[in-house]
Amino acid sequence: MKFVLEVDLENAAWGEETATELGRILRYWGGNLHHYEMNPGDGSAVYDSGYREVGRWSLTSD
């Protein structure tokens, strides 16, 4: 099984705040994983601090 996190940096438009936003995304979504059963197919959209959808995480059976 693989954990996949994809964040679209081209459309995010964070400028100099890219590292800060990515850190926040990793902390928030990493801390939120306990709400999922962690089975292949589980996943969720990922949002930045402006509540814009910027990516997705998922579990695959690969």
- Euclidean distance between CA atoms 43 and 58, whole angstroms: 4
User: How far is Cα of residue 35 from the mean position of the Cα atoms in its chain?
Assistant: 14
pTM for this predicted structure: 0.81
| Mean pLDDT in order along the chain per 10 residues (62 residues) | 93 88 91 90 93 94 84
pLDDT of residue 52: 92
pLDDT of residue 18: 94
pLDDT of residue 21: 93
pLDDT of residue 53: 95
pLDDT of residue 20: 94
pLDDT of residue 11: 79
- Euclidean distance between CA atoms 29 and 44, whole angstroms: 9
